């Protein structure tokens, strides 16, 4: 009988939204795993663990784990939680750190080494150690799924890995960062300057704390690295991505492009060259989406061309994380 005990590492925006989705959809989830339960959750200051399962209603109503109950082990580490014994699947949602992948990298290594399946929305560990982690997962016969790391709710990895198994992916290009797309869209539609559009994006709370992560193309480059390694069997490092951000895109350049029916978009491309740069995109191409939307265009030998459009961040990302959890449940159920 399938029985996967889940822990959630990182109780920030994604961790909390996932708990709400677990709570709202518990009946559907229990159709796959009758005994589904979340046995633990951690943040940077401590963790909760209960062998019988945490109360999802209560967990979905609190902002900090320490508000759950006196069971919160202040000062306890995520490593202790992973070691706690009865864990089968870890959802990892700690902050992205592309310098050394920590703390997520250590957590994922530890979980996989113990034979625990992993779902992550955190780009850092995959950018730093994609091959190492996927090899470790394979060696330990574990699933490592990461749909939420690239383009939020767009199911790019599931689509290519599950539905384009016989295709060779020849080229991928895409708008992979919603914040820069918002800025460029404001410049295109409202005639706003880059500086003003950035300020608006910051006021709307859609930029990273350090806006250079978005506007200098760092976030998009991380996603290019993961796409190239996961879907095109490359061995790409962050440093291999040629990167130009959007700081130097002027209102004049945007207006001039518009007159010729083009929009300037920050595009990540993987073919013979791997880069992130502002490019002219014909306004009638499916890739040319606006606002905070993301879009990914795949060119494959058999399917030829597919474009996916959707929300790249925010609550919608939980769709990807939840689906990864359910995919692992389904695969385990089918293998029994």
Ligand X SMILES: NC(=O)c1ccc[n+]([C@@H]2O[C@H](COP(=O)([O-])OP(=O)(O)OC[C@H]3O[C@@H](n4cnc5c(N)ncnc54)[C@H](OP(=O)(O)O)[C@@H]3O)[C@@H](O)[C@H]2O)c1
Among 40, 103, 125, 217, binds ligand X (CB under 6 A): 103
Q: Which of 52, 111, 314 is nearest to 206 (CA)?
A: 314
Which secondary structure element, helix H or strand E, spans residue 49, and what is its range?
A: strand 46-49
Q: Binding mask 64-83 vs ligand X (x if CB under 6 A, - otherwise)? A: --------------x-----
Please name the residue ranges forming H helices in the chain.
13-24, 26-32, 56-59, 78-83, 104-113, 123-139, 156-158, 178-190, 194-203, 212-215, 218-231, 251-259, 317-334
93 binds ligand X (CB under 6 A): yes
Q: Kindly give the pairing relationship between strand 89-92 and strand 144-145.
A: unpaired
Min separation Cβ 252 and ligand X, Å: 33
In the bound state with ligand X, the residue whose beta carbon lies nearer, of 53 and 314, is 314
From the list 223, 265, 279, 332, the catalytic residue is 223
In the bound state with ligand X, the residue whose beta carbon lies nearer, of 108 and 270, is 108
Judged by CB under 6 A, which stretch of 237-245, 269-277, 279-287, 313-321 contacts ligand X? 313-321
122 binds ligand X (CB under 6 A): yes
In the bound state with ligand X, the residue whose beta carbon lies nearer, of 192 and 211, is 211
For the chain, how long is the longest CA-to-CA vector? 64
Min separation Cβ 247 and ligand X, Å: 22
Among 148, 155, 211, 245, binds ligand X (CB under 6 A): 148
- Whether the CB-CB separation of 172 and 272 falls below 8 Å is answered with no
In the bound state with ligand X, the residue whose beta carbon lies nearer, of 5 and 179, is 179
211 binds ligand X (CB under 6 A): no
Min separation Cβ 250 and ligand X, Å: 29
Alpha-carbon span 36 to 60, nearest angstrom: 16
SS3 316: helix
Alpha-carbon span 130 to 126, nearest angstrom: 4
Positive/negative CA dihedral, 203, 146, 130, 156: negative
11 binds ligand X (CB under 6 A): yes
Binding site for ligand X (CB under 6 A): 9-15, 42-45, 78, 93-96, 103, 121-123, 148, 152, 313-314, 317
The residues annotated with a catalytic role in the active site are 223
């Amino acid at each position: 009988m399938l029985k996967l005990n889940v822990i959630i590492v990182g109780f920030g925006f994604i961790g909390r939204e996932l708990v709400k989705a677990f709570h709202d959809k518990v009946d559907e989830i229990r159709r796959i795993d009758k005994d589904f339960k979340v046995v633990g959750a951690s943040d940077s200051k401590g963790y909760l663990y209960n062998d019988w399962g945490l109360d999802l209603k209560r967990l979905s109503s609190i902002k900090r784990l320490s508000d759950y109950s006196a069971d919160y082990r202040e000062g306890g580490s995520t490593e202790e939680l992973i070691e706690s014994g009865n864990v089968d699947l870890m959802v990892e949602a700690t902050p992205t750190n592309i310098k050394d992948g920590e703390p997520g990298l250590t957590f994922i290594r530890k979980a996989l080494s113990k034979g625990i399946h992993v779902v992550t929305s955190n780009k850092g560990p995959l950018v730093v150690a994609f091959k190492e982690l996927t090899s470790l997962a394979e060696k330990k016969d574990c699933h490592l799924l990461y749909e939420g790391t690239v383009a939020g709710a767009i199911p790019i990895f599931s689509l290519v890995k599950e539905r384009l198994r016989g295709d060779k992916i020849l080229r991928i290009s895409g708008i992979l960062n919603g914040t820069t797309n918002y800025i460029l869209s404001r410049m295109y539609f409202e005639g706003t300057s880059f500086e003003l559009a950035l300020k608006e994006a910051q006021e709307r709370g859609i930029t990273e704390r350090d806006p250079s992560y978005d506007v200098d193309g760092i976030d998009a480059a991380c996603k290019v690295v993961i796409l190239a390694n996961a879907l095109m069997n490359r061995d790409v490092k962050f440093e291999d991505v040629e990167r130009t951000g959007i700081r130097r895109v002027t209102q004049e350049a945007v207006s001039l492009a518009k007159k010729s029916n083009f929009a300037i978009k920050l595009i990540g491309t993987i073919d013979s060259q791997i880069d992130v740069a502002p490019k002219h995109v014909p306004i009638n191409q499916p890739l040319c989406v606006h606002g905070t939307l993301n879009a990914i265009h795949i060119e494959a030998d058999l399917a030829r061309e597919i474009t996916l459009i959707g929300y790249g961040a925010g609550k919608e990302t939980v769709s990807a994380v939840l689906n990864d959890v359910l995919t692992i449940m389904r695969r385990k159920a089918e293998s029994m």
